[in-house]
């Protein structure tokens, strides 16, 4: 299974953290520190795999964001790279040419998309279209629910203003 | 109260902060606003506030006061609230929190909600971070949903079940019925998660594993369809249909086929098909091949398939993609033991990877190279590995040096080659070799008798170049001390002998003593080497001077050595030659550790081979020296006196065995009886080693005065080994009022006739008495 997924910028600022095993805040902070240090120190053309404690860490840089996925030792590193890539594709489809700012300002949506792709450190859906459809439907559900309590003309602004 | 600012507004504001302090101030202000909003139980904006809190939490600020608010959001009817609420729960409410369990009821309700997206939220949250108690409570609900026809929910329920099993393995049984027709699903999401669930169950329970073996044909069919089917836009990745599912199926097949002939046979064809048909131009194809190789190697595949797998790995090694090369090296490392010959075929490619720029690849290549070294390729491999040692990063040098030593020891084609290799390592990575290499190397050099001149010459030349690498310097000074005579006499056969004068050699050694680069241990080596040369060189005065200077050194170890060597010059000059003579060949113990019993000439050089143990104090060495002289120099081995026999088990461990059997079948004897001093010997056999005789001396005094400062010493011929334990006392009371006892252990492996020379010193009525005697009347049973 996957143990955690971290997204951070080139300056080491955290943009998303998904943990698949329970850990104290202190441990999480330490892991984040370790990961950012290790990954940011890597040479540009090194291989994408690292060893850290008893885990394999797969990292890949997309524009200004580093995606860092830790998997257990018996997992397949090459397919883990594909997992990262699939997530990036999903974000890209949703936001349309996704960039770091999208993830900063809409972090909750990044989480929602991730939760339609992975559960408990495993892949739940292998079809891009299915994941996208689920997200769109859930978004619509937010709107519909809102439209029930406010006047119809206001529902679009409500969606934007609710969060 | 104005509406709380929107999330995106907050994010924008915080990002304008120019310093950490400014950011903290903004955060604190907003937290205060959020807190008061929570206190007011504001339903409308709770969602917005929690979302803001989650953002601030990501920046690293505490957010625990929002935990209960997350619970309230989850309980709300609004979907937006639930979405943020569950997100907050996953981030803030893991099982370590007290309020975690309060979620259980909400999740239970939502698992039965009419809207599948709400059910999905609940399943996702439970499957990501449900505690054991929560899992126990809700397992039934999950099991129900596992049987639903709604594929959206079924796939989530499957992964939720996986989580439940991981948390509470005993609940695995209850999910068994629901797995019945999981694999007949068409939906890939459900298929994938089902395979994950089956994998988890098989890994955890051998019974489940046996039960699910019957699924192998079905799995093979699904995999076949994936490969053979045409383009499917929904699951296509670079021309390959659903690689994630393929990899997962391959992994399940691996588990099912392991140690099972029938299953392995059933999957042989499909594995060969995947191995040959998968497109390798992109990473995704290689990911599938990689998984296939792992499966082939783990199950009971036929040899043709195994060779195919290794060849795939061989091809990976030539791939431009670093990741692929890395993965290939890792896999080959796993298989090198079982399929050694097949991996050997790719040796040259592996060795090329030593020159790779990537650190991870270099390390793997190094480990694999060492695993591939054997008697046939040792010369070639060593050349490459030494070249690697020269140029690699410091983090590799220690491991590489150790590896080279091990390989050289096992497969060295000749002694000269071995010594050359060691020299090379010492000169290129001398500061990185491990501590225990020094004694091992010295032993190796000592035992290569015909190479002494060559070795010392090479080491001397190396020292002239560089004295900073301590292990090299230590080995070199030891050798120069030992074989300095060969060095100056220019006797080298293997290469052109160099012209070195005694003074030049002493210059070098003295240089080590004063250099800042030398460690304290190194200085000790150097001083002792200088001392040894006093019997090998003609000019002694210079050495005498050095030794006397260091008699007042601040370094206690050096001072002690110098003082003793000085004493050697002054009082015991007649025994200096014997003391400092050439070392005999050392016995190698079975282990790598420095625990050999070394036959020394009484010098404190045991620290060389036994650096981890406190060296025996040189005091007994001095006493032993007397005996050596008395006993004619070369054919006797003196005693190594220990005060406490606490050395761990070693080659001579029998000698330390305190549990000697009391077989009193050997009669006691009187060894000495003169001037009122009588010494009796009593015998025991030490078990388990019948070669060891344990002799206890009993000294009694029939004169009117006590004998004080009583010291008993013994020496035996060379074929024996002797150990003297500490005496019960140094005073032999007068008029036979008591005895002094002392235990001697004699190792007699060749079962030769035991004979002994003893020396007694004591003070009687103020005047010192000294006497020597030979003991030849040992009863035959004591040595037969």
Write down the ipTM of this complex: 0.91
Q: How far apart are CA B676 and CA B308, in angstroms?
A: 89
Closest CA–CA distance from residue A37 to any residue of chain B (Å): 17
- Tell if the CB–CB gap between B128 and A119 is shorter than 8 Å: yes
- Please report the pLDDT score of residue B601 as a whole number: 39
Q: Cβ separation of A127 and B234 shorter than 8 Å?
A: yes
pLDDT score recorded for residue B174: 95
Tell me which chain B residue has its CA closest to the CA of residue A137: B117
**A26 falls in which pLDDT band (50, 70, 90)?**
very high
- In angstroms, the CA A93 to CA A109 distance is 13
Does B159 contact chain A (CB < 8 Å)? yes
Confidence of residue A149 (pLDDT cuts 50, 70, 90): very low
The CA distance from B482 to B473, in Å, is: 14
User: Distance between CA B74 and CA B59 in Å, rounded?
Assistant: 24
Query: Is-above-0.80 flag for pTM?
Result: no
Residue B40, pLDDT > 50, answer: yes
* Digit-coded pLDDT (tens) for A106-130: 999 999 999 999 999 999 999 999 9
Label the pairing between strands B640-641 and B721-724.
parallel
Contact residues, A window 121-160, toward B, CB-based 8 Å cutoff: 122-130, 134, 137-138, 141-142, 145-146, 149
Position A145 confidence tier, pLDDT thresholds 50, 70, 90: low
Q: What is the pLDDT of residue A150?
A: 42
The whole-number pLDDT of residue B686 equals 61
Could you give the C-alpha distances from B462 to A77, B136, B423, in angstroms and in order? 46, 71, 9
Q: Is B51 on the interface with A (CB under 8 A)?
A: yes
**Residue numbers of A between 100 and 119 with CB closer than 8 Å to B:** 104-105, 107-108, 111-112, 115, 119
Chain B residue numbers touching A125 (CB-CB < 8 A): 155, 188-189, 192
**CA of B431, closest CA in chain A: separation in Å?**
27
- Please state, rounded to an integer, the average pLDDT across all residues of chain B: 85
Kindly indicate the confidence band of residue B665, based on its pLDDT and cuts at 50, 70 and 90: low
Does residue B397 carry a pLDDT above 50?
Answer: yes
Task: Give chain A positions within 8 Å (CB) of B156.
Answer: 119, 124
**Which tens digits make up the pLDDT trace of B110-144?**
999 999 999 999 999 999 999 999 999 999 999 99
CB contact under 8 A, B96 and A24: yes
pLDDT of residue A12: 93
For residue B324, give the nearest of B283, B275, B358, B366 by alpha carbon: B283
Q: B76-113: per-residue pLDDT in tens?
A: 999 999 999 999 999 999 888 888 989 999 999 999 99
Task: Answer whether residue B345 shows pLDDT above 50.
Answer: yes
- How many contacts does A have with B, using Cβ atoms within 8 A? 175
Q: Span B204-217, mean pLDDT?
A: 94
Alpha carbon dihedral A33, A34, A35, A39, in 10-degree steps, equals 110
Q: What is the pLDDT of residue B668?
A: 84
Residues of chain B positioned with their CB less than 8 A from the CB of A22: 94-96, 129, 131
Asked whether the predicted pLDDT for residue B616 surpasses 50, the reply is no
Residue B386: predicted pLDDT:
92
Residue of A nearest to B165 (CA): A120
Per-residue pLDDT of B541-587, as tens digits, reads 888 888 888 888 888 998 999 999 988 888 888 888 888 888 887 77
Helix ranges (DSSP H) in B299-393 = 303-317, 322-335, 340-344, 347-352, 359-372, 378-391
- Of B635, B627, B596, which Cα lies nearest the Cα of B612? B596
Which tens digit of pLDDT belongs to each residue from B620-658? 444 444 443 443 333 444 444 434 333 333 333 333 334
Q: Using an 8 Å Cβ cutoff, are B427 and B472 in contact?
A: yes
Answer whether A49 touches B (CB < 8 Å): yes
């Amino acid at each position: 299974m996957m143990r955690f997924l971290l997204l951070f910028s080139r300056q080491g600022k955290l943009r998303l953290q998904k943990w698949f095993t329970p850990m104290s805040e202190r441990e999480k902070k330490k892991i984040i520190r370790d990961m950012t240090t290790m990954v940011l120190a890597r040479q540009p053309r090194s291989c994408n795999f690292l060893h850290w404690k008893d885990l394999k860490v797969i990292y890949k840089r997309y524009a200004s964001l580093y995606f860092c996925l830790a998997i257990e030792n018996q997992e397949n590193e090459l397919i883990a790279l594909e997992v990262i890539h699939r997530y990036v594709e999903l974000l890209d489809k949703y936001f349309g040419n996704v960039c770091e700012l999208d993830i900063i300002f809409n972090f909750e949506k990044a989480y929602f998309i991730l939760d339609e792709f992975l559960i408990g450190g495993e892949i739940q859906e292998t079809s891009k279209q299915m994941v996208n459809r689920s997200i769109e439907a859930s978004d619509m559900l937010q709107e519909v629910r809102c439209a029930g309590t406010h006047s119809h003309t206001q529902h679009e602004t409500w969606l934007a203003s609710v969060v | 109260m104005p509406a709380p600012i929107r999330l995106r507004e907050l994010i924008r504001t915080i990002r304008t902060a120019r310093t950490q302090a400014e950011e903290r101030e903004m955060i604190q202000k907003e937290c205060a606003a959020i807190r008061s909003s929570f206190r007011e139980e504001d339903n409308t904006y709770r969602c917005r506030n929690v979302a803001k809190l989650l953002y601030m939490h990501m920046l690293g600020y505490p957010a625990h006061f929002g935990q209960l608010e997350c619970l309230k959001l989850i309980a709300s009817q609004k979907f937006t609230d639930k979405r943020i609420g569950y997100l907050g729960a996953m981030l803030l409410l893991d099982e370590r929190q007290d309020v975690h369990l309060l979620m259980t009821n909400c999740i239970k309700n939502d698992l039965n909600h009419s809207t599948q997206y709400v059910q999905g939220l609940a399943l996702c949250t439970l499957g990501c971070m449900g505690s054991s108690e929560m899992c126990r409570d809700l397992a039934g609900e999950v099991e129900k949903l596992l049987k639903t026809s709604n594929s959206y929910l079924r796939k989530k329920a499957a992964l939720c079940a996986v989580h439940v099993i991981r948390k509470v393995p005993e609940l695995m049984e209850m999910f068994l019925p629901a797995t019945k027709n999981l694999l007949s699903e068409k939906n890939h999401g459900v298929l994938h998660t089902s395979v994950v669930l089956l994998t988890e169950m098989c890994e955890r329970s051998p019974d489940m594993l046996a039960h699910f073996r019957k699924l192998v044909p079905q799995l093979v069919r699904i995999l076949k369809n994936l490969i053979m089917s045409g383009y499917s836009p929904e699951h296509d990745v670079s021309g390959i249909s659903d690689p994630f599912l393929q990899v997962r199926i391959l992994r399940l097949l691996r588990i099912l086929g392991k140690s099972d002939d029938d299953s392995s046979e059933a999957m042989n064809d499909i594995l060969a098909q995947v191995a040959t048909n998968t497109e390798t131009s992109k990473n995704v194809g290689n990911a599938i091949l990689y998984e296939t190789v792992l499966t082939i190697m783990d199950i009971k595949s036929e040899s043709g398939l195994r060779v195919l797998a290794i060849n795939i790995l061989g091809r990976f090694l030539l791939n431009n993609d670093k990741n692929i090369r890395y993965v290939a090296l890792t896999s080959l490392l796993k298989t090198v033991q079982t399929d050694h010959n097949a991996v050997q075929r790719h040796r040259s490619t592996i060795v090329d990877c030593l020159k790779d720029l990537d650190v991870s690849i270099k390390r793997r290549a190094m480990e694999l190279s060492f695993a591939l070294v054997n008697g046939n390729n040792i010369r070639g491999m060593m050349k490459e590995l030494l070249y690697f040692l020269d140029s690699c990063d410091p983090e590799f040098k220690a491991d590489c040096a150790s590896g080279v030593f091990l390989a050289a020891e096992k497969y060295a084609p000749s002694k000269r080659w071995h010594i050359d290799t060691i020299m090379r390592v010492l000169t290129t990575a001398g500061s990185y070799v491990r501590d225990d290499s020094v004694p091992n190397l010295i032993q190796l050099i000592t035992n290569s008798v015909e190479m002494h001149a060559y070795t010392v010459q090479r080491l001397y030349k190396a020292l002239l170049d560089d004295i900073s690498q301590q292990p090299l310097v230590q080995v070199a000074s030891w050798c120069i001390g030992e074989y300095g005579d060969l060095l100056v006499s220019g006797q080298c056969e293997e290469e052109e002998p160099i012209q070195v004068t005694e003074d030049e050699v002493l210059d070098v050694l003295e240089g080590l003593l004063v250099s800042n680069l030398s460690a304290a241990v190194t200085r000790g080596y150097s001083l002792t080497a200088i001392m040894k040369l006093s019997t090998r060189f003609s000019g002694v005065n210079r050495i005498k001077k050095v030794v006397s200077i260091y008699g007042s050194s601040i370094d206690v170890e050096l001072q002690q050595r110098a003082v003793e060597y000085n004493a050697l010059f002054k009082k015991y000059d007649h025994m200096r030659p014997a003391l400092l003579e050439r070392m005999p060949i050392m016995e190698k113990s079975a282990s790598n550790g420095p625990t050999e019993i070394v036959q020394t000439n009484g010098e404190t050089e045991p620290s060389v081979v036994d650096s981890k143990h406190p060296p025996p104090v040189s005091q007994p060495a001095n006493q032993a020296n007397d005996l050596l002289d008395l006993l004619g120099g070369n054919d006797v081995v003196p005693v190594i006196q220990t005060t406490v026999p606490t050395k761990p088990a070693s080659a001579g461990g029998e000698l330390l065995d305190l549990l000697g059997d009391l077989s009193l079948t050997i009669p006691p004897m009187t060894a000495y009886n003169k001037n009122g001093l009588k010494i009796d010997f009593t015998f025991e056999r030490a078990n388990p080693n019948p070669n060891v005789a344990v002799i206890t001396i009993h000294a009694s005094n029939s004169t009117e005065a006590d004998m004080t400062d009583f010291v008993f010493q013994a020496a035996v011929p060379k074929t024996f080994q002797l150990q003297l334990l500490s005496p019960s006392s140094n005073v032999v009371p007068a008029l036979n009022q008591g005895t002094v006892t002392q235990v001697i252990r004699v190792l007699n492996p060749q079962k030769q006739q035991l004979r002994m020379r003893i020396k007694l010193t004591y003070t009687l009525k103020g005047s010192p008495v000294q006497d020597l005697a030979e003991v030849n009347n040992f009863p035959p049973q004591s040595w037969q």
